[in-house]
Structure 1
Amino acid sequence: MIKNWFKHIGPGPLVAAAFIGPGTVTVCTLAGVNFGFSLLWAMLLSFVATVVLQEMSARLGIISQKGLSEIITSEISNPIVKILAIILILSAIVIGNAAYEAGNISGSVLGLEAVFGESKLLVFGHSVNVFPLLIGGVAFILLFIGNYKILEKALVSLVILMSLAFLTTAILTKPSLSEVIKGLFVPKFSNDNILTVIALVGTTVVPYNLFLHASLVKEKWKHKADLKHARKDTIVAVVLGGVVSMCIIISAAAIKTAEVTNAADLAKGLEPLFGHYSSYFLSLGLFAAGITSAITAPLAAAYVASGCLGWSSSMKTKRFRMVWMFILGLGVLFSSIGFKSIEIIKFAQVANGLLLPVIAGFLLWIMNKTSILGTYKNTLVQNILGFVIFGIAIFLGVKSILKVFNLL
């Protein structure tokens, strides 16, 4: 059975790898430190929403054999609306991913530094961190090969490594099962935790993953009969990703101090309680989370740019490679010199806050079009779930934008 699942494994783990980056690890860490197990329900809500939307995206990719950005540009007939949609998508995904890429690489560096210490070189009078160059080099090689199967195997291995690392860390903390179950199924909402709830959902239901998934399923599956494999692949991978996120919250809940601001602090905080091994497991997980996102973010940006601008989506074309090289290069550069791209990241947050409800709404519209999906369009249940998530996406979008402008 396990062998059979591995045979039909698809882009699902790549989607999980994309949403569990250093940002997710940090948000989950803060949720656990500040609120214990009480926000596990928000994580449960997050990955239910992610499963619903990603299943739609995968189904669209297999049936149409097109990427989501390709369909957007072909289905919007009004030229002004089309141009606005392309500008918004390119801004949020391409520029946004360039901003977040430095964070992905920096997160992976934190994992390495927690185990090996800092590694810096003096170049023309400037101190340059070596680890971002190493991580960028690994990501570059995997992306440049341009072979989906090799990329898939590499990322699946890293996701399994990440999952085992965080799961082991959570088990070492010996959490109360009754408290965990209570946190999962008894929602607690307050003025104190509302921003953390928004962050937990927002860091899991990621707009660029909808584009990435629709594009990647075409690399793996070509026939309608493969839909069952895609659905199983999506559910297993996203649930696994949700479990990983929950494990980080559970691990962080064991720390009885407010002096934890990121996963590196969590690794140090666990060490006196549970020994060096817990610190190593967590550092390993953070490294894997960073490097997987550092690979998937440039890949998603390249697929989106290709779809919006009418380019070939082959991973080996010059234009496709130019986009991911640009994103990866900026990430390595900013991470190496310690540049804090706060304003760019704020812009990316605003763009993504606007984009999530727009893309969720567009996806629902497309998923009900017989001309594109035929008998594989959304059922009533899928539409109800989709519109509930659409409402949540609008709420999150407004809140995240208000937060960026300090109006919340």
Structure 2
Amino acid sequence: MVASYFGSGSVFIASSAGVRYGYSLLWAVVGAVLLGYMAQDMSARLGIFGESLAAFAREKLGRTVSTVLMVLLSVGCVAWTLELTAAVGKGIVVLFGLQAIGWGPFAYLTGLAAIVIGILGYDWVEKIMVSMMFALLVSYVFVAGASSPDIVAAATGFVPVLGGMNGMVLAVSILGTTALWPNFFLESELVEEKGWIGADAIPDMRRDLAIGYAVGGITTIAIVVASAAVLRPAGYEQLETFLTPGKAMATVLGEWAMVVFLVGTLAAAFNSIIPIMWAPAYIIRETLGGEYAESRRTFLIIYVAGVGLGSLSPLVHQYLGLSVIDMIILFPAYNAVVGLPVTAALLFWAVNDSDVMGEHTNGVTLNVLNAALILIAAYSAYSAGRLVIETILTGGLAG
């Protein structure tokens, strides 16, 4: 689940943060990683000691209300998949010089490939994603090291500074693409797959999450650092096209840097599609309850339909005027201001319900720490929600 959060949004949002604000948003990466870790720790404990988060929603809100809520949340998953299929399609076109064909057909093919892989067993999907995640870590850390960053300036970036409203949007985007709310549902569903079924599993679970979030966080930081060290000094003020980061890095570091950047973006995007679209398949099935809750057929129908809708990114580009970059940056931000506050509040409620968790409810210290996720998510929704949605509906960042 940790491997799933690092997609094309992570790559381009981190790149955009480095280009526009240098090292000054590194603190947002660290904050998002810590909040994501805490939320998934809550989710895992809920699954170990109680029930899945979707089952909790059905129990407390009723079948109808919870199902409607899960369907509305699933719209965010489809939005994520739209940007991911667009990113993979664009990456293929750029890598292989297929501009004459355009990225649209490859977005559709990406969705088809995700459907095929997504119906495999959990173990296969986990092996594929984790392997890709470690490859991305090595690649981007190497690029960051070659960029010769200013270590002192980078260190100051871990002190919180917003940088105006646009800086707030980027910070929210970092939060939305790191503290990935579908994972909070999935973690509670899939603890059984990991063999985590009792209190003895807590140390293993937390070590697993710590390693995963460290890998994702370091990779994101490496991209911010490389962009701040290479693109910003070269005069770039924003990522105007999908190619901008790769071309700029190629100019300074050599063609190898562009290849690494684009291959990494493509791999990261595809890496995220499957678990993100697993989330609606699990949560809608769970809130329907009854015979649907354990139905493999229901799961597959929802998953295939969701990925199919997420493959329609060329139509979003055509009718809403959103570029691939717009989708990559704005759709994670949308999820940060819509899906994250709702999920964080529901999760906080669940882990403090003694009927569900028994003696394993949150203590005072954990509640203080975990309440930060709700407060930050709520503030993000309040301060940037309207701007994010207006930007999506008015043609994107340049609209």
- Is 2:183–2:279's contact at 8 Å kept on the other side of the alignment? yes
3-state SS of paired residue (2:160): coil
Q: Identify the match of residue 377 of structure 1 among 358, 361, 366.
A: 361
Matched, 1:15 2:26: no
The structure 2 residue matched to 1:236, chosen from 211, 218, 228, is 211
**Cα deviations across residues 318-343 of structure 1 (Å, max 9, x unaligned)?**
11001111121122243489545579
Shift in alpha-carbon separation, 1:324–1:371, aligned structure 2, 3 A: same
Structure 2 residue identity aligned to 1:40 = L
Correspondence for 1:281: 260
- Structure 2 counterpart of 1:7: none
Q: Hey, what's the Cα distance between the residues in 1 that align with 2:380 and 2:112?
A: 35
Distance 1:202 1:347, change over 3 A: closer
In structure 2, the partner of 1:357 is 341
Match of 1:157 in 2: 131
Per-residue Cα deviation, 1:289-335 (whole angstroms, up to 9, x for no partner): 11011212211121121122125555x71110011111211222434
Deviation at 1:240, TM superposition (A): 1.3
- The CA distance in 1 between the partners of 2:103 and 2:151, in whole Å, is 45
The 1:119/1:226 distance shift into structure 2, 3 A limit, reads: farther
- Residue of structure 1 equivalent to 2:145: 171
2:125 corresponds to 1:144: no
Distance 1:246 1:305 in 2: 34
Which stretch shifts more, 42-51 or 128-137? Answer: 128-137
Task: Report if aligned partners of 2:247, 2:258 keep a CA contact under 8 Å in 1.
Answer: yes
Q: 1:42: how far off?
A: 1.1
Quickly say closer, same or farther: Cα 1:71–1:290, change in 2 above 3 A. Answer: same
Partner of 1:331: 310
Q: Secondary structure at the match of 1:387?
A: helix
- Deviation readout 1:109-153 (Å, 9 max, x if unpaired): 2333332122666xxxxx7744334433432222122x1111111
Q: Give 1:394 shift.
A: 0.7
- Separation in structure 1 between the aligned mates of residue 92 and residue 279 of structure 2, nearest angstrom: 25
8 A contact 2:90–2:103 mirrored in 1: no
* 1:25-104 alignment runs, 5 A limit: 25-64=11-50, 66-76=51-61, 79=62, 83-93=64-74, 95-104=75-84
> Equivalent residue for 1:390?
374
1:226 matched to 2:211: no
Q: Determine the structure 2 residue equivalent to 1:213.
A: 187
1:4-41: CA deviation from partner (whole Å, max 9, x where unpaired): xxxxxxxxxx3332x22222222211110011111101
Q: CA deviation at 1:165?
A: 2.2
Kindly provide the amino acid, as one letter, of the partner of residue 227 in structure 1: I
Aligned to 1:320, which of 292, 299, 305? 299
Change (3 A) 1:342 1:57: farther
Provide the C-alpha distance between the structure 2 equivalents of 1:374 and 1:340, rounded to a whole number of angstroms: 51
* Distance 1:323-1:405 versus aligned 2 partners, 3 A rule: closer
CA distance in 2, matches of 1:292, 1:318: 24
Tell me the secondary structure at the aligned position of residue 164 of structure 2.
coil
8 A Cα contact 1:120 1:130, kept in partner: no
Paired AA for residue 388 in structure 1: A
How many aligned positions are there? 378
The answer to whether the 8 A contact 2:89-2:103 is kept is no
Look up the match of 2:246: 267
Distance 1:283 1:130, change over 3 A: same
Distance 1:282 1:350, change over 3 A: closer
Give the deviation of 1:285 after TM superposition: 1.1
Segments of structure 1 that go 5 or more residues without pairing to the other structure are: 1-13, 122-126
The CA RMSD over aligned residues, in Å, is 2.7
- How far 1:382 moved relative to its partner? 0.9
1:403 aligns with 2:387: yes
TM-score, normalised to structure 2, is 0.86
Q: CA deviation at 1:259?
A: 4.8
**Hey, what does 1:187 align to over in structure 2?**
160
Instruction: Give percent identity, aligned residues only.
Output: 24
Look up the SS of the partner of 2:240 in the other structure: coil
Shift of 1:195: 2.5
* Per-residue deviation, residues 245-267 of structure 1 (Å, max 9, x unmatched): 11111121121312523553201
Give the letter aligned to residue 111 of structure 1: G
CA contact (8 A) 2:168 2:384 kept: no
1:367 and 2:351 are equivalent in the alignment? yes
- Contact 1:89–1:355 (8 Å) recurs in 2: no
Q: Work out the CA distance in 1 between the residues paired with 2:182 and 2:384.
A: 17
User: Structure 1: how far apart are the matches of 2:285 and 2:46?
Assistant: 17
Relative to 1, partners in 2 of residues 1:59 and 1:43: Cα closer, same or farther, differing over 3 Å? same
